Structure 1
């Protein structure tokens, strides 16, 4: 019974984690682009 209750939470957690990581990656790419502009 526990595994049945865990699965929805797990999928929700994965969705939240993916959104967080994509946001982080976007911020990193923005910063790296700005950084490259300052160098060149």
Structure 2
């Protein structure tokens, strides 16, 4: 596996993952903070 090959498919995999997991993690953390305050 060469660096050029990895650079070709890595962004197309990371962008959807970050787009889905990023907000999901943020919402989970925010939910935990709100629940902990009560």
Specify the structure having the higher radius of gyration (Cα): 1
Tell me what 2:23 maps to: 15
| 1:3-27, Cα deviation, whole Å (9 max, x unpaired) | 1122011111001001100110011
Q: 2:11 aligns with which of 3, 6, 24?
A: 3
TM-score normalised to the size of structure 2?
Answer: 0.62
CA RMSD of aligned residues (A): 1.0
Moved over 4 A (4+): none
Number of residue pairs the alignment of both structures matches: 30
